[in-house]
Chains A and B, each alone.
Chain A
Amino acid sequence: MHEGAAVPAWALIAYLVAGVCFILALRGLSSPESAQRGNRFGIAGMAIAVLTTLVTHVPELVSPCPQPPGGWRICGPRESFHLDALVLVEILIAIAIGAAIGLVTARRIAMTAMPQLVAAFHSLVGLAAVLVAAAAYLNPEAFGIAVRITPIYGPSIVNILPVSRVEMGLGAAIGAITFSGSVIAFLKLNGNMSGKPILLPARHVINLATLALILGLIGWFTQDQAPWVFFTICGLSFLIGFLLIVPIGGADMPVVVSMLNSYSGWAAAAMGFTLHNTAMIVTGALVGSSGAILSYIMCRAMNRSFISVIAGGFGGDAVAAGGGAAIDRPWKRGSAEDAAFLMSQAEQVIIVPGYGMAVAQAQHALREMGDLLKKEGVTVKYAIHPVAGRMPGHMNVLLAEANVPYDEVFELEDINSEFARTDVAFVIGANDVTNPAAKTDKSSPIYGMPVLDVEKAKTVLFVKRSMGGVGYAGVDNELFYRDNTMMLLADAKKMVEEIVKALG
């Protein structure tokens, strides 16, 4: 059997403890009060896992494999647990470099840029998984996944265990997909690449064929451990990650980011199988299911199937749907003063933020507006649609950054019934998630998507840059032409600042 058993028992328990710490880290996120403690559990788990590995694997000297009688010998991790200073220093330097980059980035990053940061981090996990798989392939004995056969004549042969080859192949493939997919997601989110879907002809055929080829090669890998097999698996996986994400439009990015999150977990789990490491397997399963659940929540919030998101192509050119010619229909325009007056007279105002608020960085001005309204005795609440923004929970973080108390921020299902009892709904930078056509117009591409019932409020104030643009789904919004809607056409931040001035 396998030499994973050569890892001492205390180390196995330590890895288990690390795994439990990671579970507690996620558990902490069930409420904002316990979340910070959860994060500390996560840090503790990681420290335990890293220290355990260092203590058990940094050698004093290269010790030869034990040689049982007969021609066979089985090599595993060394059993000497003294630390080699040079190796340790090299590793600590590597950690220090990573830590410096990570900490500086974490401190400097703007909260609005969180989706691209997360995408970038995913790509690193993916690439790390590929590198670990490649290292395990090149030095399988160090990972205890090989059998060395020493014939009487000729050089000895190192055979990687077939199970490990599958695990390693899968780990490398998922890691590579995560890497290249996340790089594309990053470029799209960061604006280096158009958010519009790029559609290749026959892309479904190409993608499916490539996937089949990768799986076939992983099967082949169990029979033949030649380098070309392993590295072709890696190469094709990098390619498929790129091909999979390129056709997906900007509005579907919340699903993509969650999906890549999931993949990075499965990559870690696959490597955990290779290393027989409990911490990695538990973490991989946690992260994998977390990303999968988030993708599911995002898809449900858009009333789209996961397959249709992955197939891509959504959110491209504007499709004229529902409501006829947009430009000809009458609509009302309001000023900042009108908005300020209406809201200060209201009993309750619900603010509906969307991606446009993030782009305009209007969250701080918005909170100031909320504070002034509260001073006037107005109840101010925030309504968040699950897919508002470019990643799950994006709006919540921005509002938290602007010091909006989290108990004023509500999810769709908790607040939707309140719009009917609300005087003013203030929509800022959101569009599709407020479109009543999703409830009524069967021909609309967003039909069936759960939306915020803003039109039920007595007055809707809709902040938008111009009347020309449509939401990411490319659908005209019914709401603009309603009698109770007043359009506030300006940059979101400027408009809110003017309202603040008018209120003050």
Chain B
Amino acid sequence: MDFISILSIFVLACFVGYFVVWGVTPALHTPLMAVTNAISSVIIVGALIAAAAAGAAGAKWLGLLAVVLASVNIFGGFAVTARMLAMYKKKERR
């Protein structure tokens, strides 16, 4: 992919983000932060590439450490989001 295609994806994704986030109900802003936190750990992709690559021991260890950090975030972020969302209940209609 050349730089322009990547930039196009990025710019369009910013617009998608803009509209999707304005659609989030304010009551769920804390779960929103927790889940965006979890998904921004997709940076683990870069960490995995570094950890899997041979050739530079330093890069490999940095990669593995980044895998640990990103995993804390991924598992912790999604779990805490799920925990919060499970608490939101509607009024019981009797």
User: Which A residues contact B (CB, under 8 angstroms)?
Assistant: 1-2, 4-5, 15, 18-19, 22-23, 25-27, 29-32, 35-36, 38-39, 42-43, 45-46, 49-50, 53-54, 57-59, 62, 77, 84, 87, 90-91, 94-99, 101-103, 105-107, 109, 111, 114, 117-118, 121-122, 124-125, 127-129, 131-132, 134-136, 138-139, 141-143, 163, 257-258, 261, 264-265, 267-269, 271-291, 293-294, 297, 384, 386, 391-394, 396-397, 400-401, 403, 405-409, 411
A94-B64, A139-B55 known; A49-B42 Cβ under 8 A: yes
Give Cα distance in the complex from A144 to B3, angstroms.
14
Given contacts A132-B66, A409-B27, contact A397 B17 (CB under 8 A): no
Q: Roughly how many angstroms separate A91 CA and B10 CA in the complex, as a whole number?
A: 29
Q: By the criterion CB–CB under 8 Å, are B81 and A98 in contact?
A: no
Question: Does B39 contact A53, Cβ atoms closer than 8 Å?
Answer: no
Residues A125 and B73 in contact, CB atoms below 8 Å apart: yes
Residues of chain A with a CB closer than 8 A to B10's CB: 269, 272-273, 281, 284-285
Q: What are 30 A-B contacts with C-beta separation under 8 Å?
A: A15-B45, A32-B27, A42-B38, A45-B42, A49-B45, A84-B52, A91-B51, A97-B68, A98-B69, A98-B70, A99-B72, A114-B30, A118-B30, A121-B37, A121-B77, A125-B37, A125-B40, A128-B69, A128-B70, A131-B69, A143-B46, A143-B49, A265-B36, A268-B42, A273-B3, A276-B1, A286-B20, A289-B17, A391-B29, A393-B32
Interface residues of chain B, those whose CB is within 8 Å of chain A, are 1-3, 6, 9-11, 13-14, 16-18, 20-56, 58-60, 62-92
- How distant is the Cα of A95 from the Cα of B71 in the complex, in angstroms? 6
Query: Can you add 15 more A-B contacts, CB < 8 Å, to A98-B68, A396-B26?
Result: A32-B27, A46-B41, A46-B78, A49-B44, A54-B52, A94-B51, A125-B70, A131-B62, A132-B47, A135-B47, A139-B56, A264-B37, A287-B17, A291-B33, A396-B29
In the bound assembly, the distance between CA atoms of A122 and B68 in angstroms comes to 14
Known: A136-B46, A396-B26. A42 touches B39 (CB 8 A): yes
Chain B residues closer than 8 Å to A38, beta-carbon distance: 35
Residues of chain A within 8 A (CB-CB) of B48 are: 50, 53-54, 57, 91
Q: Is the CB of A32 within 8 A of B80?
A: no
A138 & B62 in contact (Cβ 8 Å cutoff): yes
